[in-house]
Amino acid sequence: MTLKEIAERARKDVKVPIAERDVERAISALLASEDIWRVLDLSGTPVMALVRVLSTLRELGLLSWDGGRLVLTPAGRELADNLGIGPRRELKCPHCGGRGTTLGPVERIAGKFREIAADRPEAIQDYDQGYVTEETTLHRVAFMWSRGDLYGKDLIVLGDDDLVSIACALTRAPRKVVVLEIDRRLVEFIGDVAEKEGLPIEVKQHDLREPLPPELKARFDTFFCDPTESLRGFKVFAERGIAALKGPGSAGYLGLTHCEASYAKWREIQRFLLEAGAVIAELRDAFHDYVNWPYIDHMRSWPHLPVHRLPGREEIWYRSALIRIEVVEGPTIEERRYEGDIFADEEAATT
Amino acid sequence: MTLKEIAERARKDVKVPIAERDVERAISALLASEDIWRVLDLSGTPVMALVRVLSTLRELGLLSWDGGRLVLTPAGRELADNLGIGPRRELKCPHCGGRGTTLGPVERIAGKFREIAADRPEAIQDYDQGYVTEETTLHRVAFMWSRGDLYGKDLIVLGDDDLVSIACALTRAPRKVVVLEIDRRLVEFIGDVAEKEGLPIEVKQHDLREPLPPELKARFDTFFCDPTESLRGFKVFAERGIAALKGPGSAGYLGLTHCEASYAKWREIQRFLLEAGAVIAELRDAFHDYVNWPYIDHMRSWPHLPVHRLPGREEIWYRSALIRIEVVEGPTIEERRYEGDIFADEEAATT
- Report the pLDDT value the prediction gives residue B126, as an integer from 0 to 100: 85
Q: Please state, in angstroms and rounded to a whole number, the distance separating the CA atoms of residues B296 and A71.
A: 56
Q: State which CATH number among 3.30.930.10, 1.10.10.10, 2.60.40.10, 3.40.50.2300 fits the domain covering B3-83.
A: 1.10.10.10
Does B248 contact A21 at a Cβ distance shorter than 8 Å?
Answer: yes
Q: Residue A89 and residue B146: Cβ atoms within 8 Å?
A: yes
Which residue among B151, B263, B282 sits closest to A283, beta carbon to beta carbon?
B282
Contact A328 B263 (CB under 8 A): yes
pLDDT at residue B344, rounded to an integer: 84
User: A287-303, pLDDT tens digit by residue?
Assistant: 999 999 999 999 999 99
Note the pLDDT tens digit of each residue in A32-73: 999 999 999 999 999 999 999 999 999 999 999 999 999 999
Q: What was the pLDDT predicted at A271?
A: 98
Nearest one of B85, B73, B76, B71 to B24, comparing CA atoms: B85
Q: For residue range A131-165, what is the model confidence (pLDDT) as tens digits? A: 999 999 999 999 999 999 999 999 999 999 999 99
pLDDT at A194 over 80: yes
Q: What is the largest CA-CA distance in chain B?
A: 64
Domain spans in chain A, listed from the N-terminal domain onward: 3-82, 104-327
* Residue B246, min C-alpha distance to chain A (Å): 12
Q: Give B351's pLDDT tier (boundaries 50, 70, 90).
A: confident
Nearest to A249, CA basis, from B1, B271, B19, B86: B19
pLDDT tens digit sequence for A212-253: 999 999 999 999 999 999 999 999 999 999 999 999 999 999
- A146, B91: Cβ pair inside 8 Å? yes
* pLDDT at residue B255 tops 90: yes
Tell me if B95 and A95 make a contact (CB, 8 A cut-off).
yes
Smallest CA–CA distance from A83 into chain B, residue: B152
The answer to whether the beta carbons of residues B345 and B230 sit under 8 Å apart is: yes
Could you tell me if B38 and B26 are in contact, meaning their C-beta atoms sit under 8 angstroms apart? no
Which site among A24, A108, A231, A263 would you substitute to test the B interface, given the most B Cβ atoms closer than 10 Å to its Cβ? Answer: A263
Write down the mean pLDDT value for chain B. 96
Fold of A104-327: Rossmann fold (3.40.50)
Provide the 8-state DSSP code for B48.
H
Q: What is the helix (H) or strand (E) element at residue B289, kind and residue range?
A: strand B278-289
Residue B128's pLDDT band, with cuts at 50, 70 and 90, is: confident
Chain B partners of A322 at a C-beta cutoff of 8 Å?
A: none
Rounded-to-integer distance, Cα B201 and Cα B177, Å: 5
CB distance B92–A102 less than 8 Å?
Answer: yes
* pLDDT confidence of residue A344: 84
CATH of A3-82, one of 3.40.640.10, 1.10.10.10, 1.20.1050.140, 3.40.50.410: 1.10.10.10
> Are B118 and B82 contacting, i.e. CB atoms less than 8 angstroms apart?
no
Tell me what percent of the residues of chain A surpass a pLDDT of 70.
100
Instruction: Tell me which chain B residue has its CA closest to the CA of residue A326.
Output: B263
B228-252 b/e with 16+ CB inside 10 Å = b?
bbbbebbbbbbbbbbbbbeebbbbb
Report whether pLDDT(A127) > 90. Answer: no
DSSP-based three-state secondary structure for B154 = strand
Instruction: Provide the CA B204 distance to its chain's centre, in angstroms.
Output: 23
Q: List CB contacts of A343: < 8 A, sequence separation 6 or more.
A: A128, A228, A230, A233, A351
Residue to mutate among A20, A25, A79, A89, with most B CBs inside 10 A, is A89
Give me the mean pLDDT over the A1-13 stretch. Answer: 96
Helices (H) and strands (E) in chain B, counts: 11, 9
How does residue B350 score in pLDDT terms, banded at 50, 70 and 90? confident
pLDDT in tens, B30-44: 999 999 999 999 999
Q: Report the alpha-carbon distance of residue B288 to residue B290 in Å, rounded.
A: 6
Distance CA A261, CA A343 (A): 12
Q: Report how far residue A207's alpha carbon sits from residue A214's, in angstroms, rounded to the nearest whole number.
A: 14
Which of A272, A240, A245, A269 shows the shortest CA–CA distance to A330? A245
Region B104-116: mean pLDDT is 98
Residue B334 has pLDDT above 90, yes or no: no
pTM: predicted TM-score of the whole model, two decimal places: 0.97
Q: What is the mean pLDDT of the segment spanning B75-87?
A: 98
User: First vs last Cα of chain A: how many Å apart?
Assistant: 35
Asked if B145 and B228 touch (Cβ cutoff 8 Å), the reply is no
- Between A21-30, A257-266, B120-129, the lowest mean confidence (pLDDT) is in B120-129
User: Across the interface, do B19 and A248 touch by the CB < 8 Å criterion?
Assistant: yes
Looking at the DSSP bridge assignments, the partners of residue A283 are A323, B283
What is the average pLDDT across A12-17? 92
- Residue in A closest to B44 by C-alpha: A147
Chain A hits for B24, Cβ within 8 Å: 148, 249
Can you give the length of chain B in residues?
351
Half-sphere exposure in the Cβ direction for A264 (13 Å, CA): 14
State the Cα–Cα distance between residues A44 and A150, nearest whole angstrom: 30
Q: How far apart are CA B334 and CA B43, in angstroms?
A: 36
Gap between the Cα atoms of A299 and A276, Å rounded: 33
Cross-chain residue pair A93–B84, CB shorter than 8 Å: no
What's residue A198's pLDDT?
A: 98
Distance spanning both ends of chain B, measured CA to CA: 35
- Rounded CA-CA distance B150/B222 in Å is 8
Q: Identify which of A24, A100, A270 has the shortest CB distance to residue B93.
A: A100
Give the DSSP H/E element, type plus range, for residue B177: strand B176-181
CB contact under 8 A, A102 and B84: no
pLDDT in the model for residue A343: 87
- Chain A closest CA to B220's CA: distance in Å? 14
Q: pLDDT tens-digit profile of B268-292? A: 999 999 999 999 999 999 999 999 9
Residue B123: which pLDDT band, with cuts at 50, 70 and 90? Answer: confident
CB contact under 8 A, A270 and B270: yes
Cα–Cα separations (whole angstroms), residue A165 to A6, A29, A44, A291, A350: 45, 36, 29, 18, 24
